[in-house]
């Protein structure tokens, strides 16, 4: 496998986003105890990062209204990170009041999506993030940054790669230790995904980049494979292929974590996750949500 000069991606870090991205789009409220159980089951599979919840406005995303109860209820495992989404200082303060030590801020490369998702232009969003990053720095809180709509926008269609590079670079310069590049509506294909990643890697070190694919058009695993070949070593995924954004209508779930683990095994890349335990967790979640798993691997395994 070819890698960028300064990157070795023989070991891949999976960022599990199921409890947040996976559940945020669920119409029926999932019980707080089930959310806590999901996070604890995922952490027990060997996943080193489990994005737990989102301290966003409950008016915008009712499913995440119990963020504080969920976070506080998790019996945290040593060595596992539990980042949470934070859109503004109010979210930051709510998160800190229950002891959060890692957050993720989320911006977009498309003006229209930024407005729809967080009610701010891109410039306004960066202004809004600045005091959050300042507070996080003061408190020793790690900050990850998302850039959404990196391969297309539900409102404006094409998104120039230069905009993705600009926003990713800005978030990194502001202090985000890692930038996750999100194909929010799952329209990307491998060559485009790789070209977008490489363009960003021209300005932000590859080692500080992650990829985040939704699977609307069935391209997510292929996109991840192409980006691994380009040298990325952090991949976001959601157990059972759950997920979607309430402000990106028609977008389907994230790439399934089970499918990523199977891919990494096939490529001979280390990840530290117990696939059987992950599959069992995916099946348990399917029973909670009352529907079949979206993970091909989960459905195929006896």
Q: How far is the CB of 139 from ligand HMG (least distance, A)?
A: 17
The greatest distance separating any two alpha carbons of the chain, rounded to the nearest whole angstrom, comes to: 50
Distance in angstroms (rounded) separating the CA atoms of residues 240 and 243: 9
Among 71, 82, 106, 262, binds ligand HMG (CB under 6 A): 106
Q: Is residue 197 within a helix (H) or strand (E), and if so which, with residue range?
A: helix 190-201
Q: Is residue 128 within a helix (H) or strand (E), and if so which, with residue range?
A: helix 122-139
CA angle 76, 252, 223 (to 5 degrees): 85
Q: Is residue 88 within a helix (H) or strand (E), and if so which, with residue range?
A: none
**Coil, helix or strand at residue 114:** helix
Choose the contact partner of 88 out of Mg ion, ligand HMG, none; CB within 5 to 8 A by kind: ligand HMG
**Toward ligand HMG, which CB reaches closer, 119 or 121?**
119
Residue pair 133/107 in contact (Cβ under 8 Å)? The answer is no
x-marked contacts with ligand HMG along 110-149 as a string, rule CB under 6 A: -------xxx--------------------------x-x-
Residue pair 27/60 in contact (Cβ under 8 Å)? The answer is no
x-marked contacts with ligand HMG along 244-263 as a string, rule CB under 6 A: -x-x----------------
Q: Is 60 in the site for ligand HMG (CB under 6 A)?
A: yes
Q: Is 21 in the site for Mg ion (CB under 5 A)?
A: yes
Which residues inside 8-47 make contact with ligand HMG, applying CB under 6 A? 21, 24
Which residues inside 272-301 make contact with ligand HMG, applying CB under 6 A? none
Q: How far is the CB of 254 from Mg ion (least distance, A)?
A: 6
Q: Is 192 in the site for ligand HMG (CB under 6 A)?
A: no
In 57-177, beta strands by DSSP E: 84-85, 102-108, 142-148
**Toward ligand HMG, which CB reaches closer, 118 or 161?**
118
Q: How far is the CB of 21 from Mg ion (least distance, A)?
A: 4
**Toward ligand HMG, which CB reaches closer, 83 or 231?**
83
Burial class (CB in 10 A: 0-12, 13-18, 19+), 214: buried
Tokens found for residue 71: 């976070």
Q: Is 16 in the site for Mg ion (CB under 5 A)?
A: no
Q: Give catalytic status of residue 245 as yes or no.
A: yes
**Coil, helix or strand at residue 31:** coil
**Coil, helix or strand at residue 19:** helix
User: Which spans of this chain sit near ligand HMG (rule: CB under 6 A)?
Assistant: 21, 24, 54-61, 85, 87-88, 90-91, 94, 106, 117-119, 146, 148, 182, 184, 212, 214, 245, 247
Catalytic residues: 245
User: Which spans of this chain sit near Mg ion (rule: CB under 5 A)?
Assistant: 21
């Amino acid at each position: 496998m070819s890698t960028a000069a300064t990157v070795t991606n023989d070991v891949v870090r999976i960022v599990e986003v199921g409890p947040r991205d996976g559940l945020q789009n669920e119409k029926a409220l999932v019980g707080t105890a089930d959310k806590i159980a999901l996070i604890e089951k995922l952490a027990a599979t060997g996943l080193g990062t489990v994005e737990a919840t989102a301290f966003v406005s409950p008016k915008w995303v009712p499913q995440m209204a119990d963020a504080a109860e969920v976070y506080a209820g998790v019996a945290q495992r040593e060595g596992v990170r539990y980042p949470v989404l934070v859109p503004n200082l109010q979210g930051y303060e709510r998160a800190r009041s229950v002891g959060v030590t890692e957050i993720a801020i989320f911006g977009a490369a498309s003006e229209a999506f930024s407005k729809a998702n967080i009610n701010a232009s891109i410039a306004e969003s960066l202004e809004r993030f600045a005091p959050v990053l300042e507070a996080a720095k003061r408190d020793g809180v790690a900050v990850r940054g998302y850039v959404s709509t990196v391969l297309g926008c539900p409102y404006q269609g094409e998104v120039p790669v230069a905009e993705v590079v600009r926003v990713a670079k800005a978030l990194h310069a502001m202090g985000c230790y890692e930038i996750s590049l999100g194909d929010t509506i799952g329209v990307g294909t491998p060559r485009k995904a790789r070209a977008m990643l490489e363009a960003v890697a021209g300005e932000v070190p590859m080692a500080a980049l992650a990829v985040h694919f939704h699977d609307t058009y069935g391209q997510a695993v292929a996109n991840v494979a192409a980006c691994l070949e380009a040298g990325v070593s952090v991949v976001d995924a959601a157990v059972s292929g759950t997920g979607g954004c309430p402000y990106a209508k028609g977008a389907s779930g994230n790439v399934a974590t089970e499918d990523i683990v199977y891919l990494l095994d096939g490529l001979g890349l280390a990840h530290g996750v117990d696939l059987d335990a992950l599959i069992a967790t995916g099946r348990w979640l399917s029973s909670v949500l009352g529907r079949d798993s979206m993970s091909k691997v989960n459905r195929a395994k006896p």
